[in-house]
Amino acid sequence: MPNAYISGIGGYVPPDVVSNDELAKRYGIDTTHEWIHQRTGIEERRYAAEGVGSGEMGYYAAKKALENAQMSIRDIDMIIFATLSPDIHFPGTGCLMQRRFTELFEGDMPRYVPALDIRNQCSGFLYGLAIGAGMVQAGTAKHVLLVGSETHSAALDMTTRGRTVTSLFGDGAGAAIISATDDPKRGLRKWQLGADGRGAEALCMRVWDITKRPFIDTPNGRDGVGVIPPEIMWPQMDGKQVFRNAVEKMCMSLMGVCFELGLSAEDIDLFVFHQANMRINQYVANSLGIPENKLIHNIHKYGNTTAATIPLLLWEAVETGRLKPGMKVAMSAFGAGYTWGAAVIDW
């Protein structure tokens, strides 16, 4: 049975840089650089322009990953698109991104690559990695394109009321090609996923609550104009509860995969943590005895890009030469749901 490895990696962030101070200047949010940076480690983030969504940014990241792998989109057997900020409610953004690859449909032999959307928030990349690797290891696909892409800026409460959540998030996309290999020195060694729906309301966005009739209140009846209160319209978070569970579950999943492989922190060359909050990652690293020189961060530049954080980190590490073939990489993430995961891969 072949193993699965990451044969190509790519990333994209929009050009508009929004600093902490600019959140106050541009949007009138009562905040400061010191207030945000002290609590999160974030200095700035990127916002996509109006008209640009997760599908388009994912397309740019996917093209870079394909180039890095020296492949064409026609080599891909499956697309997995991870996002909590889809372009529209349906159809899935994987299909909307897929159609941007017009070369798929040219000529006498069109290539109708299947596209799957997954909604696992900050853990989306690791969930997608497990799905894609499983397909490759089972022999049902040779190459899977995994994309994590987020356009948070369109759905954030840009007022002082929403500053706790708004200050955390940015826009961006990352992509990886998961391919089959017979090389015993490369590939995904172990992954572990988890979920606990009891924490679902601690970090959520209720705007599409299909249990309500209608799902958005239309007080004037037949005019069809909906009215959405801010606590439904915008993301809500219990920060202390999320912080506590993130530390616990990231430590637990990392320790779990390393224990199964008989590894310690000394055996890992690079730790790649989801970039939700620098303080969470520092707490996890200190708890597990991980030295700073084995960690990489980009939250100070991009904020939390949810499903895109891990592939963006991998892409930057490859681009800068920090990540090289033969290195052993451990990844971990925690997000809304609650969902979490960890994986070890030989690069």
Q: What is the pLDDT along the chain (347 residues), one digit of tens a residue?
A: 789 999 999 999 999 999 999 999 999 999 999 999 999 999 999 999 999 999 999 999 999 999 999 999 999 999 999 999 999 999 999 999 999 999 999 999 999 999 999 999 999 999 999 999 999 999 999 999 999 999 999 999 999 999 999 999 999 999 999 999 999 999 999 999 999 999 999 999 999 999 999 899 998 877 889 999 999 999 999 999 999 999 999 999 999 999 999 999 999 999 999 999 999 999 999 999 999 999 999 999 999 999 999 999 999 999 999 999 999 999 999 999 999 999 999 99
187-202+235-346 has which fold? Peroxisomal Thiolase; Chain A, domain 1 (3.40.47)
Instruction: Give the integer Cα–Cα distance in Å for 290 and 270.
Output: 10
> Closest Cα partner for 92 from 55, 52, 124, 126?
55
**Encoding tokens for residue 339?**
């969902």
| CATH label, 3-181, candidates 3.40.47.10, 3.40.50.300, 2.40.160.40, 3.30.470.20 | 3.40.47.10
Instruction: Give the integer Cα–Cα distance in Å for 262 and 207.
Output: 44
Output Rg (C-alpha) for the chain, integer angstroms. Answer: 20
Q: In which residue are the tokens 């963006």 written? A: 312
Instruction: Give the integer Cα–Cα distance in Å for 278 and 299.
Output: 7
> Of residues 251, 274, 281, 297, which has the active-site annotation?
274
286 as an active site residue: the answer is no
Question: The whole model's pTM is what?
Answer: 0.97
Cα 87 to Cα 53, 151, 281, 346, distances in angstroms: 6, 8, 30, 34
298 as an active site residue: the answer is no
Residues forming CATH 3.40.47.10 domain(s) in the chain: 3-181, 187-202+235-346
Contacts with 231 (C-beta within 8 Å, 6 or more apart), sequence order: 206
> Of residues 3, 20, 122, 281, which has the active-site annotation?
122
Q: pLDDT at position 224, please?
A: 87
122 as an active site residue: the answer is yes
